Amino acid sequence: MYRFLFRTVYTARKSSACVYEACVLPAKCDKAAVFRFANGGGLKALSTSSVSLCEKKDNVASSTEDEKTVAEKEVDPTETPTLVTQKAEDDSTVMKMEEQREEEPMVLKTGDESTTQQEDVKIEQVEATPPEVNTVEAKSGKDSLLDILGGMKVDVTSKRKLRSLKPRQSHDSTHQSKPAAMESTISMFQKATEEASSQSETLDPQLVAAASAAASTLPDSIQAESDLLRQLRQHKAVSEAQKKGDMNNLGDIIAHMKVGKNPDRRLSTRPANQIQFDDDGPGYTHDRGINTELYSARRKKIYMSGKRLNIFSSTTDEDGVESTVARPTLWDVELANELSLSSKQTHRNGLEEMIEWTKEGRMWQYPVNNEVGLEEEASVPFHEHIFLEKHLQEGFPRQGPVRHFMELVLAGLSKNPYLTVQQKREHISWFRDYFHQKEDVLKEADVYLN
Amino acid sequence: MAAPGRHVGHYIQRNSRLLLNNFEQLWSPRNFGWTSALRQQAAEANKEPPDTIVIPRKKTWSKEAVLEALSSTVGRDPTAYPYNFQDDPFLSPRTMNEFKMYSLSQESGKSAAKFFINNNPKYFTRDFAEPHIPCLMPETVSLLLEDVSEEALKERINLRKVTAAVEMYDQLLQSGTTISMETTYDLLDLICLYCDRDPVEEGGAQTEEMEEPGEEVRRGRGKVRWASDFVKFSWKENNNAERIFNLLPERDTRCYSALIRGMVKHGAHAKAFSMYTDLLNNRLTADVHIFNALVTAAPDVRDKYNERWDLIAELLSQMNQQKVQPNLSTFNSVLKALRRCGSLAKTQAIHTLNEMKAMGIAPSLASYDHILNAFSKAASSSGAVNTDILQEVMSELEGKSFTCQDPDDVLFFSTAMRICLNNKDLELGYRVYNLVEHGENWRLLGAFYHQGIFYRRFFNLLCMMEHIDVVLTWYRKLVPSLYYPNHQGLKDLLQALDTDGRLDLLPTIWKDIRALGHDNKSELVEELLMLMARDKHSAEVQEAFAACALDIKSVSEGDMRKNTMEWSTSSLSNITSLLLRADKTQAAWETLKLFKSKNRVPEEPLLEDFLSVCCSDGSPQRAVMLVQLSAAFCLSATPKLAKRTLAEFNLTEKQRAVLSELECTGESSG
């Protein structure tokens, strides 16, 4: 199960060389954990910790200790910072599992041992068993182990250029959510699920035996054993449920998977830089190709934020107003000219050439509204064109045929779009003059009424 | 008549409920398609109080709006030559040089016409256009006012006649006329801008792209006139500007500003600073232009990097004390000056940028260009250049359109592409390219020279990093409408073809090489021939290669007017073996003869190959001639060839005699 998980994670994140997997302590178990170091010897051991896991699985029958580890590991959502360096350089590298230590007094010893071994940097695999041990020693052992892991990581990364190790420290406070996240991560990959469920479907008698063996090493053996077995069953139930139903949130989970990237690997001993499989906030990936924006968003924090010169105080508007009032000087003209020259490009098509001609005023303008060509009339409101009666106030009789005639003229003029207002006025005043001249004749005929 | 209508109306009324129900049923499945979120939004929108009615503002369109819309649908035609050469097929530029020459000659033709019209306005008085079009009429470039007056002085200033304006000013002073402050400012500006000399061309910088035919040769770099034009004069002690300045009864900031800007522009940096001190002593405050000029000049008056920065920081804090608001060019000057501050540049440039943003001044492309330069310069000394800063800049710039705000804006894209190329970061290169393509940003690629650099870098990057199919797509897209590759670019392309094993495309590339006028670059042609001759290919590919080789041969032979390519031994033998492989024995024989006329000696493996082909063809005559040719070159392989010929061919007695003689002489001499 873990092998598949790791492998798929590995393929998904090519650049992330190592993945830390974490399990969380069950609520009952206290935080104390015993760390066992499976120290793989050999030259290439560094790169094959996942293999070591597999080896362990394969060798279930051969060693009871091994069996125990596997069982506990698979079963318990324990707080297990599983450190894996992944590199399939040599899958067949044989991992010799060291004698495993489960008793809490041995923890510190193991730590010491691993420190001595970190010089010739080898594989690290950390597992935690969930014995019910509440001793302070175990806690401090865990802390020291984490420190040691940090130290080892530095060594490793300095030797292996492109592979980095990320410590993962699970948080004790998130007991409930973590197992769920963990389980859904598992369910992401069908293979993994299949494997997982097939392994946990039937509580293998060997598993039970291993669990009881592990529990027997603890002070309160009965309690421990029952805890272990309950966890086994719970695990089985969860994985089965997910096998059936949870496949559809696979995409979600993948989308929210994050691989923390440390800008400076030397600082990466801090537990803050971790691979996280939780689903809040934006994640970061190593792979620029996959997730450029997130990558750059993270990058942004490095340079472009931060200090300023702190010379200028914030803006005051007075000066700006003053400068706009001033007319452009020769320098401004020169600068504008320079700018237009430097951004001047050759035309890409005929339309761009026409744009330039339009700007120069050489070309007829394309109409952009229905008032095109209204240059001289643009400022005249429409009612000047339509309501022309006011021009009849003077010089015309108030009633009678002349008045009637003029009203008809006005009606015609008001509908004529081709004359300017000025022309219309002139037209009316021509009639005014005409009728004025003919006033005598009209009066004689008694049609000019005033 | 009305009865049936009424009946229908009644029917509709009666059935309207049914109809409505049906409609609702019809619509409801459509509504189902909508997400619940949309519905929620609609519901929220309904809840808003209905009394706020926003009347949309009247949309005003510019007069080019229609054309701009049309133009945006057309864009650039990647299959054609640039638009401005499409009028005349003869003027289709094939190389960078031709492009430069043709575009310059086009512009110079326009300028010549304009010059003629402006200088002879009396011949161009007819105004055909209705309505009147001002830009078609001659501009006034000569002086109209002859009398001594302030108006005449203003006219001279507007026409940028520096010496005439100075003379007029002196005459006005002698006649005791008082000249208004505004005119004095303008006069000082004019003198300082042109460094007390008449601008090279009447109208000068006013008319765009005014180019004299004689200038073209000198200016190899396209339209970068503005940079080189004014700098070449240096500020002289006690020139007219200083003289007039000293004669002024009272000097205010504006006069100092003109002087200081002129001094900085024309290289009198130390003098500019002493002028500034003078200004402070007169209890005046400087304006933003003075500070901008001084910041630009700061690196020239100090030697050490930290002293330079201290001076700049001092100037900026004085600016703050005098309540002068900085503008974009202030910060751009600071950033530009920082490029000459060595190791300080990196941190201070970022601080400056942050200061800029805090002041609410949006950085222009030039600001980013300076920052990129500061970083890449700092990085180049330490070895590795990293793209982090460019990544960051790009993530800030992406999706924005820019207008030209600083003359240095046009340098940004080529700088960014250079960093991509140096880091071989293809993805970043694409991002930069996309930014160029966004909106009108391509206008900021600068003059054709910078544009060429940008595309060259991009194409190099593609050749290096991208798969050959993609490279070829880009190649078709860029060449020749945007980019005329030089022979180095084409060599990169050949190498990319070689890397991805697409050597069968070589004949097409050769056609492009010919079209681009690189067929006389021996280095390139040799590379091409080497790639073609190196491996054996399928029959039709070999056929195409042979045709291509013949073409190469004919080009270099036939073209007498151009400087023909010098044939090397390797390229001649490559041609020969290519022809041999395609069974063009006759042509190969012709090529073999070329060795002699070009004073080259063929190599032995080539002759042996040739002999094998003769053998398979069954032409003993040619085999004998081959051996004779080999003997003529005094090759040591002659006896071997002769022996082989004797053994493998059916020869006449006469031929045998000739061959055995050659065999013997070869052995005796060898």
Answer yes or no: do A316 and B323 touch at CB < 8 A.
Answer: yes
Report residue B313 as tokens.
């920081």
Residues 6+ positions from A22 with CB-CB distance below 8 Å: A79, A80, A81, A82, A168, A169, A170, A178, A182
User: Phi/psi at A19 (nearest 5 deg)?
Assistant: -130, 135
In sequence order, what DSSP letters do the residues of B436-475 get, joined into one string? Answer: HHSTTGGGGG-SHHHHHHHHHHHHHHHHHHS-HHHHHHHH
In A, which residues are within 8 Å of B465 by CB distance? none
Q: Which tokens sit at A318?
A: 């007075």
Could B208 and A341 be called an inter-chain contact, meaning their C-beta atoms sit closer than 8 Å? yes
Give the pLDDT band (50/70/90) at residue B475.
very high
Under an 8 A CB cutoff, do B395 and A293 touch? Answer: yes
Cα B483 off chain centre by: 8
Within 10 angstroms of residue A11's Cβ, the number of other Cβ atoms is: 10
Structure tokens given for B159? 């026409």
Q: Is the pLDDT of residue B347 over 50?
A: yes
Cα diameter, chain B:
130
| Secondary structure (H, E, C), B369-400 | HHHHHHHHHHHHHHCCCCCHHHHHHHHHHCCC
Q: Which two tokens stand for residue B383?
A: 């070895």
Q: Are β-strands A258-259 and A82-85 bridged in parallel, bridged antiparallel, or unpaired?
A: unpaired
DSSP letter string, A135-166: -HHHHHHHHHHHHHHHHHHHHHHHHSSS----
Residue B435 pLDDT = 93
What pLDDT score does A119 carry? 40
Q: What sign results for the dihedral spanned by CA atoms B360, B366, B369, B370? A: negative
> Shortest CA distance to B599 belongs to which of B567, B629, B571, B627?
B567
Neighbours of A196 (CB within 10 A): 26
Amino acid at B620: P
Q: Which of A285, A305, A343 to mutate to test the interface with B (most CBs of B within 10 A)?
A: A343
Give the pLDDT band of residue B619 (cuts 50, 70, 90). confident
For B268-280, write each residue's pLDDT tens digit. 899 999 999 999 9
Cis-peptide into B78, omega within 30 deg: no
Burial A307-319 (b: 16+ CB within 10 A, else e): ebbebbeeeeeee
Which two three-digit tokens encode residue A166? 């990320």
* Burial label, B536 (beta-carbon count in 10 A; 0-12, 13-18, 19+): exposed
The A residues from 226 to 285 touching B (CB cutoff 8 Å) are none
- CA atoms within 13 Å, Cβ hemisphere of B90: 1
Residue of B71, B133, B205 lying closest to A337 (CB–CB): B205
Residues 325-354 of A with CB under 8 A from B: 329-331, 334-335, 337-354
CA A184 vs CA A204, A254, A285: distances in Å: 23, 10, 20
B451/B444 Cα distance (integer angstroms): 9
What does the pLDDT read at residue A194? Answer: 45
Nearest Cα of chain A lies from the Cα of B360 at a distance, in angstroms, of 8
pLDDT digits (tens, 9 = 90+) for A57-109: 444 444 444 444 444 444 444 333 333 333 333 333 334 333 333 433 443 34
Asked if A339 and B407 come within 8 Å (Cβ–Cβ), the reply is yes
DSSP string, B216-250: HHH--SSS-HHHHHHHTS---TT-HHHHHHHH-SS
Interface A-B, measured as beta-carbon pairs within 8 A, has a size of 185
Q: How confident is the model at residue B556 (pLDDT cuts 50, 70, 90)?
A: confident
Q: Which of B378, B454, B377, B452 is nearest to B420 (CA)?
A: B454
Q: Decide if A356 contacts B84 (C-beta within 8 A).
A: no
pLDDT at B560 over 70: no
Rounded to 5 degrees, φ, ψ at A372 are -70, 145
Where does the pLDDT of residue B382 fall: very low under 50, low under 70, confident under 90, or very high at 90 and above?
low
Mean pLDDT of B215-241: 55
- Does residue B472 have a pLDDT over 80? yes
Which is more confidently placed, B106 or B142?
B106
Give alpha helix (H) positions in A188-315.
Answer: 190-201, 205-216, 221-245, 250-256, 292-299
The answer, yes or no, to whether ipTM is higher than 0.95 is no
Q: What is the pLDDT of residue A147?
A: 53
Q: How far apart are CA A269 and CA B173, in angstroms?
A: 80
* pTM for the predicted model, two decimal places: 0.62
CB-CB contact of A197 with A223 (8 Å)? no
Q: Are B316 and A311 a contacting pair at CB < 8 A? A: yes
Q: Confirm if A194 and A7 have CB atoms less than 8 A apart.
A: no
Low-confidence ranges of chain A (pLDDT < 50): 1-139, 149, 151-201, 245-251, 253, 258-301, 317-324
Mention every residue, 6+ apart, whose C-beta is less than 8 A from residue B511. Answer: none
Q: Which residues of B touch A366 (CB under 8 A)?
A: 63, 65-67
Q: Which helix (H) or strand (E) holds B19?
A: helix B2-32
Which one, of B360, B388, B345, lies nearest residue A301 by Cα? B388
Reported as a pLDDT band with limits 50, 70 and 90, residue B237 is: confident
Residue of A303, A312, A352 lying closest to B392 (CB–CB): A303
Contact call for residues B333 and B295 (beta carbons, < 8 A)? yes
Instruction: Tell me which residue has tokens 């990364």.
Output: A157
The answer on pLDDT for B573 being more than 60 is yes
C-alpha dihedral sign at A176, A177, A178, A181: positive
Q: CB A331 to CB B394 under 8 A?
A: no
- How far CA A329 is from CA of A34, B43, B260, B541, in Å, comes to 80, 57, 15, 68
Q: Strand A126-129 to strand A34-37: parallel, antiparallel, or no bridges (unpaired)? A: antiparallel
With beta carbons less than 8 A apart as the criterion, state whether B357 and B371 touch: no
Give the nearest chain A residue to B334 (CA atoms): A309
Neighbours of B566 (CB within 10 A): 11
Whether cis (ω within 30° of 0) applies to the bond prior to B131 is yes
Q: What is the mean pLDDT of residues B537-559?
A: 85
What is the four-CA torsion angle of A296, A298, A302, A308, rounded to 10 degrees?
A: 90
- Chosen for mutation from B60, B64, B425, B440 (greatest number of chain A CBs closer than 10 Å) is B64
The pLDDT score that the predictor gives to residue B330 is: 92
Give the burial string for A422-445 (b: 16+ CB within 10 Å, else e).
eebeebbeebbeebeeeeeebeee
Parallel, antiparallel, or unpaired: how do β-strands A82-85 and A34-37 relate?
unpaired
Q: What is the mean pLDDT of residues B578-582?
A: 88
The reported pLDDT for the residue numbered B179 is 87
> Is residue B218 predicted with pLDDT exceeding 60?
no
CA distance linking residue B163 with residue B143, whole number of Å: 13
The alpha carbons of chain A give a radius of gyration, in whole angstroms, of 44
Average pLDDT of chain B, as a whole number: 81
CA distances from A200 to A73, B535, B663 (A): 12, 60, 88
8 A C-beta contact, residue A124 and residue A49: yes
Q: What token pair was written down for B670?
A: 């060898």
| pLDDT at residue B334 in the model | 92
What is the pLDDT, as a whole number, of residue A106? 41
Smallest Cα distance from A33 to chain B, Å: 42
The Cα–Cα gap between A24 and A176 comes to 8
Measured between beta carbons, which residues in chain B are less than 8 angstroms from residue A357? none
Phi and psi torsions of B367, nearest 5°:
-60, -45
pLDDT at position B336: 92
Nearest CA in chain A to B81: A348
CA distance A414 to B422: 74
Give the gap in angstroms from C-alpha A67 to the nearest C-alpha of chain B.
48
pLDDT at B666: 55
Token pair, residue B266, equals 């024309």
Strands of B242-399, DSSP E? none
The pLDDT confidence band at residue B598, using thresholds 50, 70 and 90, is: confident
- Which of B72-81, B285-294, B383-392 is least confident? B383-392
Whether chain B has a CB inside 8 Å of the CB on A305: the answer is: yes
Q: How confident is the model at residue B263 (pLDDT cuts 50, 70, 90)?
A: very high
Please report, rounded to a whole number, the percentage of residues in chain B having pLDDT higher than 70. 84
Closest Cβ opposite residue B83 in set A299, A348, A360: A348
Q: Determine contact, residues A284/A260, Cβ cutoff 8 Å.
A: yes
User: B198 and B162 in contact (C-beta within 8 Å)?
Assistant: yes
* pLDDT tens-digit series, residues B160-207: 888 889 999 999 999 988 888 889 999 999 999 888 888 765 444 433
- Tell if the CB–CB gap between A312 and B326 is shorter than 8 Å: yes
**Looking up tokens 């045998």, which residue turns up?**
B656
Look up residue B123 and give its two tokens. Answer: 């011949």
Burial of B535 (0-12, 13-18, 19+ CB in 10 A): exposed
Question: A372 to chain B: nearest residue by CA?
Answer: B63
pLDDT of B500 > 60? The answer is yes
